[in-house]
Structures are given as C-alpha cells and as structure tokens.
Amino acid sequence: MGRSSGAGAVEETYVAALQHDLVSFEGDTMFVGVVRHPTGWFHGEVDENRPTLGPPADLLEETKQRHEDLKMQGLCDEEAHNQAWDDVGFEERYREHVRDSAEAQAALDGLADRVRDGETVVLVCFEGEDKRCHRHMLVEMLEQRLDGES
C-alpha cells in the first residue's frame, strides 16, 4: 500500500484483492488500472484504466518469456516472476520508459492532481503481493511528485 500525501492519498492493490473484497479504502476513492492490455473483466473492477502507465509490450513479452523459462527450470511461479524481473532489468527499463514518455508523464500529472484535490487514487494491476509489480514504482513516482511540492 502507499501513504497519504497532501489532501488525498496514493495506494495500490491487485485486481483479485478487489474481486474478493480483501482490501478496503476510505474516502473518495478512484480505482485506476495501470495495465497496457486489460482483459474485458478488468474494466469492471476499476473506474478507469491508464494503459500508458502499463509496461511497454516488448518489456512485458521479454519478462514473460524469461518467467516461463525459469518455471521450466523448476522455479515456482512467484520466484520465477521475481527472478525474471531482475534478469531483464525490468525496474530500470520501466523507469526509463515512464521518464521518456510524454503520455506517461501526463497520466502521472493527472493522477497527482486528483490526489491534490482530495481523492484516494488506488493503482490496480494483476500481480499479487508476492510478485514484483510496476504499480509499486508508480506509487513511489506519484509520492515523489507530491512531496516535491512541499
């Protein structure tokens, strides 16, 4: 989860937690998907989706392929996912993508404005708590934007 920042708050969760009522949020809450290619049912769980904040297709595909290779070598799903993340340099590459994308920057600015206006913005993706996920980095990026105003 994230933390309060200014008038609103920045939080995160995964879609299955919403589907199974495993999490709850107080106040004026906006569930924002950060998925590049959401499934049809994903849209029913979020108020909106910001695909520009999803990882780029080539990074997703490379990570998925490495994940599958590691599972074939005997790693469990979560361990293979997290190792694949490291092996492909996911964090650095994703941060670079967001930094260099005008669309991603505009999406982050829009979400930061909502937090300033008092909303709790909850970023939603597919990965459960045991898997590394870009939504955690997005929470950090939003918090840095908001903290920079203090």
Domain ranges, ordered by start, for the chain: 20-36+44-135
User: In the prediction, which pLDDT does 128 show?
Assistant: 85
Residues of the chain with pLDDT under 50: 1-5, 150
- Could you count the other beta carbons within 10 Å of the beta carbon of residue 23? 13
Q: Are 121 and 115 a contacting pair, CB within 8 Å?
A: yes
The CA–CA distances, whole Å, from 139 to 1, 65, 70, 80 equal 8, 26, 28, 24
pLDDT of amino acid 26: 81
Q: What is the pTM of this model?
A: 0.90
Segments in the chain forming alpha helices (H): 15-19, 57-72, 77-87, 90-100, 102-116, 134-147
